[in-house]
Structure 1
Amino acid sequence: MKKQFAVIGLGRFGSSITKALSREGFEVLAIDVNEEKVNQFASIATHAVVADATEENTLKSLGIRNFDHVVVAIGDNIQSSILTTLMLVEQGVNHITVKAQNDYHEKVLLKIGAHKVVHPERDMGIRIAHNIVSKNVLDYLELSDEYSIVELVAGMKVDGRSLIDLDLRAIYECNVMAIKRGEEVNVSPAPKDILYDGDIIIVIGADEDITRMEEELFPDS
């Protein structure tokens, strides 16, 4: 049986989540207080209902505790976000992901029992900033305040050199997780594997080490 999801709040973030989950074939209950927004998802989500998620009886009537995962994607109303999350925790929802507006909001959400808190605008801003700063950075995923996963485009400086020759782990304390060459993906590449101009490498490491490696081996061409 496929997992059942509920998405509360159909703003930009909630709408994107609902569409993505629906495309993957999951059962999705879309909830919002705005009838117009709900009507837009009547043919996209499995079910779309107009409801106030801050009301305990409303959530009970929707059988919210039976869903595998509930995403609280309420926009700018921090009070509603916190109250909804609290209602979900009290009703024993197994997994609750909540969109936060700021760090203070995140602290409160985690205190009351949210399982995961996301900052979509902040995280996307960080990724875009890295793409703007260096055209060799294709994508960027922040794992923590200090560690990240980065996609880098190999240039002439590493062309024809093997991983053991570059010795990225010893010199930069970075690990190459995969190499993409055209349609081929080499996961967990061997030390003897060679990089060529235009290859995409996926690297994990500390931010300062990745930056140092990028500046020395992957400068903008």
Structure 2
Amino acid sequence: MGSRKQFAVLGLGRFGLSAARTLEEMGAEVLGVDMDVNLTESLTGILSQVVSFDIRDARGLDQVGIGNFDAVIIALKNLEASLMATMLCKERGVTEIVVKAIDERHAEMARRLGATQVVFSERDMARRTVMHLVSKNAVDYIDLAGSVKIISIIVPESLVGKSLIESDLRRLYNIVVIAIRHGAETMVTPSPSYCFAEGDNLFIIGTEQSLAEFERDF
């Protein structure tokens, strides 16, 4: 694989395949691994590389050089296979191991075995769905540690024409606009003098309470 970031996705069910294809679309090189030979053959040419072997087999992971990847996503439905893959990846020096967990027990065991991040696809999707129902402006929602969240929203109409410093969101709501997508341009840590325009997509970080207060008022 070349100089692009390299990811391995172990388990190509709905979650794993979606993650793999999204990474490819973002310019990364992706190795997809699944025990289903028919599935991996159907994905040839769609992912950078696809192989089929039992993910619990250390030799298979060694043959694909799993320790050389920037990150590994483990998206296996089988609890034993998921935990074994997590342990084997940790032993081989993978620095970023993302595990799709079945439940909290699975998550706790995965963390102990070396997972650096755990996701609950159904729970996270439920939270995104609820956020979209509660907030008419919400575009996306990311759950960080504790009560800290990032929400992506379309700029409220009442803020259009105001500058970032004039809106004074940090003082009023204890939230921070960390990026703004204006048309095709994305501004990270935007200038305080930037004036919000209709259709701007704001990426805001704050606690659940501060974001809720902001949403209530706007």
Say whether the fold is shared (TM-score over 0.5): yes
| 2:40 equivalent in structure 1 | 38
**How many residue pairs end up in the alignment?**
216
Q: Could you say if the C-alpha distance between residues 165 and 118 of structure 1 is closer, same or farther in structure 2, counting changes exceeding 3 Å?
A: same
Q: Could you say if the C-alpha distance between residues 195 and 70 of structure 1 is closer, same or farther in structure 2, counting changes exceeding 3 Å?
A: closer
State TM-score, norm by structure 1. 0.83
| 2:136 equivalent in structure 1 | 135
Q: Which runs of 5+ in 1 are unaligned?
A: none
- 1:38-187 aligned at under 5 Å gives the runs 38-75=40-77, 77-187=78-188
Larger deviation, residues 143-152 vs 62-71: 62-71
2: CA distance, partners of 1:30 / 1:181: 34
1: CA distance, partners of 2:177 / 2:16: 34
1:211 is displaced (CA, Å) by 0.7
CA RMSD after TM alignment: 2.4
2: CA distance, partners of 1:103 / 1:196: 42
1:152 is displaced (CA, Å) by 2.7
1:14 is displaced (CA, Å) by 1.3
Residue pair 2:5, 2:29 contacting (<8 A) in 1 also: yes
Q: Percent identity?
A: 37
Residue pair 1:151, 1:203 contacting (<8 A) in 2 also: yes
Larger deviation, residues 193-202 vs 145-154: 193-202
- 1:182-221 aligned at under 5 Å gives the runs 182-216=183-217, 218=218
Larger Rg: 1
1:41 is displaced (CA, Å) by 1.3
1: CA distance, partners of 2:152 / 2:117: 25
2: CA distance, partners of 1:186 / 1:26: 22
SS at match of 1:194: coil
2: CA distance, partners of 1:65 / 1:194: 46
SS at match of 2:44: coil
1:29 is displaced (CA, Å) by 2.5
1:30-69 deviation per Cα after TM superposition (whole angstroms, max 9, x unaligned):
2111122111112223332221111223333443334343
State TM-score, norm by structure 2. 0.84
2: CA distance, partners of 1:110 / 1:48: 27
1:15 is displaced (CA, Å) by 0.9
What letter matches 1:51 in structure 2? F
2: CA distance, partners of 1:196 / 1:138: 17
Residue pair 1:3, 1:26 contacting (<8 A) in 2 also: yes
SS at match of 1:195: coil
1:198 is displaced (CA, Å) by 4.2
1:156-212 deviation per Cα after TM superposition (whole angstroms, max 9, x unaligned):
433444444432211211112234444454443444443355443322111101111
Larger deviation, residues 110-119 vs 175-184: 175-184
1:17 is displaced (CA, Å) by 2.3
2: CA distance, partners of 1:36 / 1:107: 33
1: CA distance, partners of 2:151 / 2:14: 26
Residue pair 1:66, 1:93 contacting (<8 A) in 2 also: yes
Larger deviation, residues 128-137 vs 180-189: 180-189
2: CA distance, partners of 1:186 / 1:66: 32
Q: Which runs of 5+ in 2 are unaligned?
A: none
Residue pair 2:135, 2:215 contacting (<8 A) in 1 also: no
Given the alignment, which residue of 17, 27, 30 partners 1:28? Answer: 30
1:126 is displaced (CA, Å) by 1.3
1:73-108 deviation per Cα after TM superposition (whole angstroms, max 9, x unaligned):
112x11210112112222333432221122221111
Residue pair 1:151, 1:202 contacting (<8 A) in 2 also: yes
What letter matches 1:19 in structure 2? R
What letter matches 2:138 in structure 1? V
